[in-house]
Structure 1
Amino acid sequence: MRVELLTVGDELLIGDTLNTNGAWMGQELTRAGVEVVRSTVVGDTLKAIGEAVTAALDRADGLIITGGLGPTYDDLTRDALAYLAGVKLVRDPVTEAAIRERSMKYGVRLRESALRMADLPEGSAKLPNPVGTAPGIRMELAGRPVFALPGVPHEMRAIMTETVLPEWRTPAAPAVLTLRTAGVWETVLAGRLAPVERMEGVSLAYLPSPANVDVRITADSPGTLDAAVAKARGLLGQAVYAEGRVTSLAAAVLDLLRERGETVAVAESLTGGLLGAELTAPAGSSAVFRGGVTAYATPLKAALLGVPEDLLAERGAVDPDVAVAMAEGARDRLGATRGLAVTGVAGPDPQDGKPVGTVHIGVCGPEGSRSFTPTLTLPRDGSRARSLVRDMTVVHALDLLRHEVLRVAMIREWEQDQEGLEGLR
């Protein structure tokens, strides 16, 4: 089945909001064996919506629309569908009652416009919204199925999961799995995975973001997928930190530390708290993450983290030994097993003679301390460099910590193996 996606909203056209709905739907429909042939974004006008719907149904076997089902005057998706079908809008009494009840429950004055969410094109089917107010809509236009879903992401996903995907999922849906990698560039990954690319019935897609790349493996059968994943993992080694789409690098690092009964504390300069925020995003992080110190000003690196003042005076704040001293200070002052620190130049101007993009990461643990200086590829557009440097630094820091924990774990496993051999002699 060939399906098109249509997203409605002025905020998407002007860039105020990213079209995450389209990306998520594309992934889920592909998993269900549905071919997504086009994704279009239009503004909040009847003309734009109507033209886009008509064009899509001329090309595809079905259409999914998100957005334009809310209560405001510019939510016009239901109006456009009714116009194209040549029918009127009729109010669903069950939805109207739910809207009124919700208004009373929260003590909010009911605006008449809110009841627009209960209007459906005559002859259409209402799709229950288990997590919101506005229902979805299913109807036939030009002999093809059209689904209209709310633009609120969690509402759209709920209706897609419970109603749309079960209807369209095919028995011959391809087997898909995503390997999540960090610290290796896309071109390097592609070179390593060339033998997997040559496997019959297997295709790869590379989904890059700052400093990490997801590799989506699609196969024609579960058995072929298992073989492809095993080969890919063997070729990539520790570059793979997780399987699946939901596990973040921070969550993977926290899991490693939790398994070993270890904790971590961070010290940040150029990232200004982003590293700590990433480590506290996963649920249950408090069992592993002790805390962090954002020592942005150079004197605070000495006052709060114990970085030697003579070291700062001699080399400045952007230095590998300073990064190590910051990590050790965070570990000691916050009572953690491991310390992780970042310092560098995010821009827009150089600092202490160091160019934008210079970053040093310090890590310390029971086995000792070390620093790491990643190579960052900066965009030609200087206005984007600052945020990119900060984002890439967070990923590199987490990946360095992950490798340190794995390195120690491998050494300990080897030592345990040796102890076992001694017992057999």
Structure 2
Amino acid sequence: MRVELLTVGDELLIGDVVNTNAAWMGSELTRAGVTVTRSAVVGDTLEEITSAVTEALSRADSLVITGGLGPTYDDLTRDALAALAGVGLRRDPATERAIRERSTAYGVRLRASALRMADLPEGSRKLPNPAGAAPGIGMVVEGKPVYALPGVPSEMRAIMAGTVLPELRAPRVPHVLTLRTAGVWETVLAGRLAPVEKLDGVTLAYLPHPARVDVRITAETTEALRAAATLARERLGQAVYGEGRDAGLATGVLGLLIDRGETVAVAESLTGGLLGAELTGAPGSSAAFRGGVTAYATPLKAALLGVPEDLLAERGAVDPDVAVAMAEGARTRLGATWGLAVTGVAGPEPQDGKPVGTVHIGVAGPEVSRSLTPALTLPRDGSRARPLVREMTVVHALDLLRHELLRVAMIREWEEDQEDLEGLS
């Protein structure tokens, strides 16, 4: 089954709204064994919609459309489908009744235009929408199935899950596993995984994100997937921090801490609280996260975290030893086993003679106190430089702590093995 996606809306074309619907639908359809061959965005005009639908159906086996089913004059998807099918619109009594009842329940005056959401092309079927008022539309156009869904993400997802995915799901769903990695470039991962690429019935896809890459392994059989995943883990080692698309880096770090009965506190400068927010966003974080200090102004690094004033005066706030001192301060003052700190220049201007993108990360623990050396030099160009530097800093900081936890665990395991051997001698 080859499916194309079509998203309707001027707000998407001009950049006012990010097209998250297409990304979610593409992911879910792929997981269902459906091949998504193209995704397009068009504006709110009858001509653009009809043209895009005709072109898509000339190539694909089916088409899924989102947007253009609302109550306003520029919601024209239903009109376009009716025009292509050469039919008129009919008002669905049950949908009209539901819209009226919904309006009464919310105490909102019903506008006549709202009833447009109850209009369906003749010969189409109504797709139930448990999350909203406008139903989806299912119909055959030019001999191929077309699904039209509301653009509201929650409503689109509800109809996709309830109707579209079950109907389009491939009889043989491929076996898929996603390995999540951090701190390694995509090209390096591809080099390490070259032997996996050569396995029969196995394909790899690299999905880059700021400072991390997801590796999606697709195989024809369970056995092939198991063999590919085993070899991939061996080739990637500690670069892999989790499996499955819902495995977060913060969740993995917190899991290591919880397993050991340890805790972490953070000290942040350029990230302004993002690091603490990432940790507390993971379920169960209260078992291992003590708290954080956002010491954005340089004097607060001394006042709140105990960073030596002479160090700050001599080198400024963007310095590896300052990062370590911040980590030590967070650890001792917040009573945590580990301290993690970040300081750097997010931009748009240099600071203390350091260019934008310069970042230092410090970690302090019961058996280690050091900075990430050499300093990170993160992207510094373009309008996305500042948010990208901050986002990548969070990933690198969590990954540094993860590696330290794993390293200390290996040392402790080795020491325990030595004690056991001494006991046998």
Answer yes or no: same fold by TM over 0.5: yes
Aligned to 1:295: 295
Q: Report the 3-state secondary structure (helix = DSSP H, G, I; strand = E; otherwise coil) of the residue aligned with 2:377.
A: coil
Q: Which moved more, 1:98-107 or 1:247-256?
A: 98-107
Q: Which moved more, 1:104-113 or 1:248-257?
A: 104-113
CA contact (8 A) 1:376 1:392 kept: no
Q: Following the alignment from structure 2 to structure 1, what is the Cα–Cα distance between the partners of residues 355 and 186?
A: 25
Q: Which moved more, 1:336-345 or 1:118-127?
A: 118-127
CA contact (8 A) 2:65 2:147 kept: yes
Aligned to 2:379: 378
Aligned to 1:98: 98
Q: Following the alignment from structure 1 to structure 2, what is the Cα–Cα distance between the partners of residues 149 and 259?
A: 45
Q: Report the 3-state secondary structure (helix = DSSP H, G, I; strand = E; otherwise coil) of the residue aligned with 1:68.
A: coil
Q: Following the alignment from structure 2 to structure 1, what is the Cα–Cα distance between the partners of residues 156 and 378?
A: 36
Q: Following the alignment from structure 1 to structure 2, what is the Cα–Cα distance between the partners of residues 372 and 403?
A: 11
Aligned to 1:180: 180
Measured at CA, do residues 112 and 205 of structure 1 come closer, stay the same or move farther in structure 2, by a change above 3 Å?
same
Cα offset, 1:422, TM superposition: 5.0
Aligned to 1:369: 369
Aligned to 1:81: 81
Measured at CA, do residues 100 and 256 of structure 1 come closer, stay the same or move farther in structure 2, by a change above 3 Å?
farther
Gaps of 5+ in 1: none
Q: Following the alignment from structure 1 to structure 2, what is the Cα–Cα distance between the partners of residues 396 and 388?
A: 12
Cα offset, 1:115, TM superposition: 2.5
Cα offset, 1:424, TM superposition: 5.2
Aligned to 2:156: 156
Aligned to 2:280: 280
1:67 aligns with 2:67: yes
Aligned to 1:242: 242
User: In the TM superposition, what whole-angstrom CA distance separates every residue of 1:314-337 from its partner, at most 9, and x where no partner exists?
Assistant: 111001111111111112222222
Q: Following the alignment from structure 2 to structure 1, what is the Cα–Cα distance between the partners of residues 413 and 150?
A: 51
Q: Following the alignment from structure 2 to structure 1, what is the Cα–Cα distance between the partners of residues 418 and 126?
A: 66
Q: Following the alignment from structure 2 to structure 1, what is the Cα–Cα distance between the partners of residues 315 and 248?
A: 35
Normalising by structure 1, we get a TM-score of 0.95
Q: How does 1:34-73 map to 2 (within 5 A)?
A: 34-73=34-73
| Letter paired with 1:348 | P
Aligned to 1:387: 387
Gaps of 5+ in 2: none
Aligned to 1:351: 351
| Letter paired with 1:214 | D
**How many pairs are equivalent?**
424
Cα offset, 1:23, TM superposition: 1.9
Cα offset, 1:154, TM superposition: 2.6
Q: Following the alignment from structure 1 to structure 2, what is the Cα–Cα distance between the partners of residues 336 and 108?
A: 52
Q: Following the alignment from structure 2 to structure 1, what is the Cα–Cα distance between the partners of residues 201 and 237?
A: 23
| Letter paired with 2:131 | V
Q: Following the alignment from structure 1 to structure 2, what is the Cα–Cα distance between the partners of residues 422 and 129?
A: 68
User: In the TM superposition, what whole-angstrom CA distance separates every residue of 1:392-412 from its partner, at most 9, and x where no partner exists?
Assistant: 111100111111122222223
Aligned to 2:211: 211
Q: Report the 3-state secondary structure (helix = DSSP H, G, I; strand = E; otherwise coil) of the residue aligned with 2:384.
A: helix
1:132 aligns with 2:121: no
Q: Following the alignment from structure 2 to structure 1, what is the Cα–Cα distance between the partners of residues 221 and 196?
A: 15
Cα offset, 1:384, TM superposition: 2.5
Q: Following the alignment from structure 1 to structure 2, what is the Cα–Cα distance between the partners of residues 71 and 280?
A: 40
Cα offset, 1:423, TM superposition: 5.4
User: In the TM superposition, what whole-angstrom CA distance separates every residue of 1:191-223 from its partner, at most 9, and x where no partner exists?
Assistant: 111111111111111111110001111111111
Normalising by structure 2, we get a TM-score of 0.95
Measured at CA, do residues 417 and 71 of structure 1 come closer, stay the same or move farther in structure 2, by a change above 3 Å?
farther
Q: Which moved more, 1:85-94 or 1:73-82?
A: 85-94
CA contact (8 A) 2:360 2:376 kept: no
Cα offset, 1:235, TM superposition: 0.5
| Letter paired with 2:186 | E
1:200 aligns with 2:200: yes
Cα offset, 1:178, TM superposition: 1.0
User: In the TM superposition, what whole-angstrom CA distance separates every residue of 1:158-192 from its partner, at most 9, and x where no partner exists?
Assistant: 22122112112223222111111000001110111
Measured at CA, do residues 366 and 107 of structure 1 come closer, stay the same or move farther in structure 2, by a change above 3 Å?
farther
Q: Following the alignment from structure 1 to structure 2, what is the Cα–Cα distance between the partners of residues 303 and 263?
A: 23
Q: Report the 3-state secondary structure (helix = DSSP H, G, I; strand = E; otherwise coil) of the residue aligned with 1:382.
A: coil
User: In the TM superposition, what whole-angstrom CA distance separates every residue of 1:337-371 from its partner, at most 9, and x where no partner exists?
Assistant: 21111001112222111111111001112222111
CA contact (8 A) 1:376 1:389 kept: no
| Letter paired with 1:413 | E
CA contact (8 A) 1:348 1:382 kept: no
CA contact (8 A) 2:183 2:396 kept: yes
Q: Report the 3-state secondary structure (helix = DSSP H, G, I; strand = E; otherwise coil) of the residue aligned with 1:388.
A: helix
Q: Following the alignment from structure 2 to structure 1, what is the Cα–Cα distance between the partners of residues 415 and 91?
A: 72
CA contact (8 A) 1:266 1:292 kept: yes
| Letter paired with 2:371 | S
Cα offset, 1:421, TM superposition: 4.4
Q: Following the alignment from structure 2 to structure 1, what is the Cα–Cα distance between the partners of residues 260 and 353?
A: 41
